Amino acid sequence: MEAYCVKCKSKREMKDAREVTMKNGKKARTGACQVCGTKMFKIGG
Ligand SMILES: [Zn+2]
């Protein structure tokens, strides 16, 4: 899945994406940028 990478300043494919639940109960995905390895975060399942 794609997410915005703040380091690359563009959308990148997310590596090792996994689902997490935020404090407000909403689902989000976290992973790492495929290109630079920066941690990525995307709201929504
Ligand atoms: Zn990146």
Quote the pTM value: 0.79
pLDDT of res. 45: 58
Distance 40 CA to ligand 1 centre (A): 8
Q: Tell me which amino acid residue 32 is.
A: A
pLDDT of res. 11: 95
Distance 11 CA to ligand 1 centre (A): 8
pLDDT of 44 > 90? The answer is: no
**Closest of 19, 13, 9, 17 to residue 44, by C-alpha:** 19
Confidence of residue 24 (pLDDT cuts 50, 70, 90): very high
| pLDDT over 70, % of the chain | 98
Distance 44 CA to ligand 1 centre (A): 20
CA dihedral 17, 1, 7, 41 (to 10 degrees): -50
Distance 38 CA to ligand 1 centre (A): 6
Distance 35 CA to ligand 1 centre (A): 5
- When pLDDT is averaged across residues 10-32 and rounded to a whole number, the result is 95
